Structure 1
Amino acid sequence: MHIQYQDFNGAAELIAGDYREEWVDIENVLTSMPLHLKASDQAKIQGRAIFDPVGTNQHIADGLVPRGWEQKIPIPSSFKFLGTDVDFGKNGVVVEVQFSNYPFLLNNTIRSELFHRAQTIFHQRPTSLIIIVVKAGMFPSSNSTLYYEQAFNQLEALSHHGVFTVPIRLVGLFEPLGRVWANWTGYTAARYSRIVGSRALKEFEITAGRLGRCKIDPI
């Protein structure tokens, strides 16, 4: 996949220095990842290709864990009111893969600020840098799910008003228009299932649609 990113609170300088290797891990995993798609179960668009968050999450985990990243690291009991775990951590870098509804970005941002201020350790070092991975708005997806352009606007406003000080790199997943090979996954249940029934690499055509949202059709 192609990626774009925006940095807040000195994240670029940290990544260019102490966290270059950690960023290389993340960049390599994301840019070598194929697009993951599944069939929609929403009314009026049932069966159409939409972004697959479960397959994408699993691919990221399969790429990061062998590189020494810990997965699903429990949040300390003092911060349990903000969730159960962080997605990935290594040497003071926390990665949150955010494909759920857009209000959850604020939760991730505020709890990351708390981890940073409290110097919470998830893997060997205190939390110093947050990487948030989201999909681009170009992909058809489930209703109300967060997308990169929206996440940038939220973080830009929060940063402008000093709501958070933790260094954050926001990373968006994109694909160019045209033909693309994608992992097409069928799940055992139409909604919320994580159990794979079938998975195959198939070719699709991505074409521009209205308001920045694209159409993805099988070839």
Structure 2
Amino acid sequence: MAEASLQRVRPALRAARLTAGLMLFFALSDAALAVYTNIYGARDVPLAVTIMNLAAMAAVIVYYFSPDFSSAKPTAASPSVEPTEEDKIALSRIEAALEEGELYRSEDLSLAKLSRKARLPAREVSAAINRVTGLNVSQFVNDRRIAEACRLLRETERTVIQVMLDVGFSTKSNFNREFRRVTGMSPKQWRAEARAAQDGGAIKTRP
């Protein structure tokens, strides 16, 4: 997981959960089949195996097409543990690492790459970010990306897609979701309000 791109952590986690679930299912079903065979013989084993495989295939299809409810959970949680001075120092190193060479713009940025750049263990990077900000690593990095996206939308004529790619996002759905999480509106809406603010209005922020 640490080596996976931050944009691919959620799909990788879903795949890991699915694999673990299938392993557990086949372990339990094989044990049940062994008990059944000892009691009733092996005559119905082919049918039982077919049913097991069909059930596993159905479960994979349902899981694949089901929405990822974890992405809909609130993301502005308060830190669960009071941050220490060491956490704050670590966060400063992490922020400096993100800015060095504009690392945050890297599409394939991973926790492992960030930790190597900050010269901190990956677990310490994740823990410090969570304790100080209440965010996970992906959200923390995306906050920086969205801040840069807002600047580009306000100060340049680049299209939304160009801005998305410039700040390190690879998919429009992820960019739009994270942009709305941070600002409370879509990139196009934000640009329109930012332009209106230049005439004396105020940029709307997330409630």
TM-score relative to the length of structure 2:
0.29
Which structure is larger by alpha-carbon Rg, 1 or 2?
Answer: 2
Structure with bigger helix share is: 2
Higher relative contact order (CA 8 A, sep 6+): 1
